[in-house]
Amino acid sequence: MNLIEKRLEFEEKKNIYESTKLTFKGVDTWDVYNCSIPFVKDGRTFIYGRVEKRDEWANSIVRLFENSGKDEWTLVPDSMIYQLEDPYIALIDEELVLGGTHVQKQQNEVSSFFGYFYRGKNPDKLTYFTTGPDFMKDIRLVKMDGSKIGVFSRPRGEHILKEFGSESLIGFATINSLDELNADIIAKARIIPNLFDKNQWGGCNQAYFLNNGLIGVIGHKCYRWKDESGQKILTYMNNSFIFDPEKNVASEEKIIGTRNCYPDGPAKMPHLPDCAFTSGIVVRDDGKVDLYSGISDAEQGRIVIDNPFAGYTIIS
């Protein structure tokens, strides 16, 4: 079954128990999208959001917001401004790690982009500590047993396309300390096989250490197509899989959300009406999960779905 057939099957059988958008206060008319998952620090609930004007591209910042109501988030005054896109967070040995994409420009044209990483215990003022490889987005960390930290990479480029037929893949490596995280370690991460067919691509958006030494991955999976008018469309879908780091094998891969699962809304560009860029999940008291996702590069959504890791225990 190809990816489009899998999507059609998902759409027919999906169970979406709640679907809504997040609202953000304190940023005037700027869009907030492609956020981190919500997290609790010192009894307060926060989220990092990508903040950008609707008519601009590759000109975003990341800001910290605090929960101020159901699906409502308010800018934390005087919190640090990060020159990043698409933030994510991980809790590593009591330190909060913020990662995101830093875009480099020359004469207002994008010349490269890198993963930047910040760490600390105060979410409104973290300290930069390392950079990922050139032209790599969506690098993710997860705390494992003992001192081990899992590192998910997202290699891309002509060499990846030529060798694997995919625009980007997912790799995995381990380190023993945040002090070991660097571009070379990330670039040499071992490719996880059989995740993408030809002309597909994707990445890890949030990782969860499970019982039995396994890792639950919430990610995105993508492909291109043309609509009836001939407009090229980028489809981004929310997906999940179970990863065995000892065997370097992914299993139980499935679609868990599409743009259709979230409320209707505007798209930043004509080719993005079918884009759901995954943030991650938060387990609810009722056993289901809140799945957070950027939608069409303009807004942030939340849906309630069955736990994609049912039968496993999330340890960190």
Burial (CB count <10 Å: 0-12, 13-18, 19+), residue 67:
middle
Q: What Rg do the C-alpha atoms of the chain give, in angstroms?
A: 18
Tell me if 316 is assigned to some domain.
no
Q: Which amino acid is at 29?
A: T
Q: Let me know if residue 272 belongs to a domain.
A: yes
- Is residue 294 a part of any domain in this protein? yes
Q: Spell out the SS3 assignment of the chain.
A: CCHHHHHHHHHHHCCCCEEEECEEECCCCCEEECCCCCEEECCEEEEEEEEECCCCCCCCEEEEEEEEECCEEEECCCCCCECCEEEEEEEECCEEEEEEEEEEEECCEEEEEEEEEEEECCCCCCEEEEECCCCCCCCEEEECCCCCEEEEECCECHHHHHHHCCCECCEEEEECCHHHCCHHHHHCCEECCCCCCCCCEEEEEEEEEEHHHCEEEEEEEEEEEECCCCCEEEEEEEEEEEEECCCCEEEEEEEEECHHHCCCCCCCCCCCCCEEEEEEEEECCCCCEEEEEEECCCEEEEEEECCCCCCCCECC
- Please report whether residue 313 resides in a domain: no
Q: Are strands 72-75 and 232-244 parallel, antiparallel or unpaired?
A: unpaired
Residue 315 lies inside a defined structural domain of this protein:
no
Q: Would you say residue 108 has pLDDT above 90?
A: no
For residue 122, pLDDT beyond 90: yes
Is residue 310 situated within a structural domain?
no
pLDDT at 46: 98
> Would you put residue 199 in left (φ > 0), alpha (ψ -120 to 50) or beta?
left
CB 299 within 8 Å of CB 276: no
User: Which pairs with CB-CB distance under 8 Å and at least 24 residues apart come from 93-97?
Assistant: 93/143, 93/178, 94/121, 95/119, 95/120, 95/121, 95/178, 96/39, 96/41, 96/120, 96/121, 96/123, 96/126, 97/141, 97/178
Residue 105, domain CATH:
2.115.10.20
Q: Which structural domain range is residue 77 located in?
A: 3-305
User: Is residue 97 a contact partner of residue 89, using CB atoms and an 8 Å limit?
Assistant: yes
Q: Say whether pLDDT at 56 is over 90.
A: yes
Report pLDDT for 157: 86
| pTM for the whole structure | 0.97
Domain assignment present for residue 182? The answer is yes
Mean pLDDT score, 252-263 = 98
pLDDT above 90: residue 49: yes
Please state the domain count of the chain. 1
User: How far is 191 from 296, CA to CA, in rounded Å?
Assistant: 29
Give pLDDT, residue 21: 98
What digits encode the pLDDT tens for the residues 74-95?
A: 999 999 999 999 999 999 998 9
pLDDT, mean over the chain: 97
> Tokens 């660097």 sit at which residue?
182
Tell me if 116 is assigned to some domain: yes
Q: Is the pLDDT of residue 55 over 90?
A: yes
Q: Is the model's pLDDT at 26 over the cut of 90?
A: yes
Confidence of residue 1 (pLDDT cuts 50, 70, 90): confident
Long-range pairs for 106-111: beta carbons < 8 A, 24 or more residues apart: 110/58
Residue at token pair 């945040």: 178
Q: Residue for token digits 């009406």?
A: 273
